[in-house]
Amino acid sequence: MTPWSDWETNFETARAALAWQVEMGVDEAICDTPQNRYALPDKVAKPTKPATAPAAAAPASEATDPVAEARSMAAAAQDLAELREALAAYPHCELRLGARNLVFCDGQEGARVMIVGEAPGREEDLQGKPFVGEAGQLLDRMFGAIAMGRAHPDPARALYITNILPWRPPQNRDPSAEERAMMRPFVLRHVELANPDIVVLMGRISASTLLETSEGITRIRGQWREFMGRPALPMLHPAYLLRTPAAKREAWADLLDLQAKLRTLP
């Protein structure tokens, strides 16, 4: 007979495995028993050739180049709603398969300040909104300290928030170079359509992806750069500040600088 402690261990192991799968986005059991699909290549039906070519097939170079396709889909979006639809329809980024929600934006359209973060975490993936977890709460407190916020009705004090990636990477790993390259055209179009006076590049991934620089965030934070014809301020990410509270001094200096810059712009 199996000792009770073994039952308990098996139960806890199975429960932990289930919790992990739910966390990874598994929401459906396909089979009763696992199958090694790598062992079934012969059974996969080969795609049949369509009788006629699709009416509006993309040029071959675009069809095979995910970044070119991202560029053309982003460019075709005429407003923020269309850009969101374009992202939802973009087929080449596999992160979408593991995510619960597409996280597009939060805050006020027309805000003078647009924040671009890195990627959704667990809470953001669940709620479909950027910066709503612990780092997001710190971000709200930081901007609250200079009387700005995502819910502020006055565009001069409002924030508009997005991320480089709209889907959560598994276990919050760093986005790969390929994922960043695919999403960059969408973020550029996002900035164009949102048309803020100032862009805040929140953290290492945002600053390096958008400025195409390998300079470290601790080196370039607080230095005004030009990005898409407007001032951009690289800042330390609130998740970093949670781990490194001593760096809040620098973040505070950057917030005051941002506030001063807003006063100087028309």
Q: Which residues bind ligand URA (CB under 6 A)?
A: 117-121, 124, 130-131, 133, 135-136, 163, 203, 239
Q: Which residue is nearest to ligand URA (CB)?
A: 117
**Rounded to the nearest whole angstrom, what is the least distance from the CB of residue 139 to ligand URA in the complex?**
8
**Rounded to the nearest whole angstrom, what is the least distance from the CB of residue 67 to ligand URA in the complex?**
22
Beta bridge partners of 158: 149
Nearer to ligand URA, 69 or 118 (CB): 118
Nearer to ligand URA, 107 or 130 (CB): 130
**Rounded to the nearest whole angstrom, what is the least distance from the CB of residue 263 to ligand URA in the complex?**
27
**Rounded to the nearest whole angstrom, what is the least distance from the CB of residue 117 to ligand URA in the complex?**
3
Beta bridge partners of 117: 163
Give the C-alpha separation, 236 to 199, whole Å.
Answer: 14
Pairing of strands 230-235, 198-202: parallel
Find the Cα–Cα–Cα–Cα dihedral 130, 79, 75, 196, rounded to 10°: -60
Joined together, the tokens standing for residue 173 give: 């790993």
Nearer to ligand URA, 21 or 172 (CB): 172
Nearer to ligand URA, 131 or 227 (CB): 131
Q: In what order do the strands lie in the sheet with 198-202?
A: 106-107, 159-163, 113-117, 198-202, 230-235, 225-227
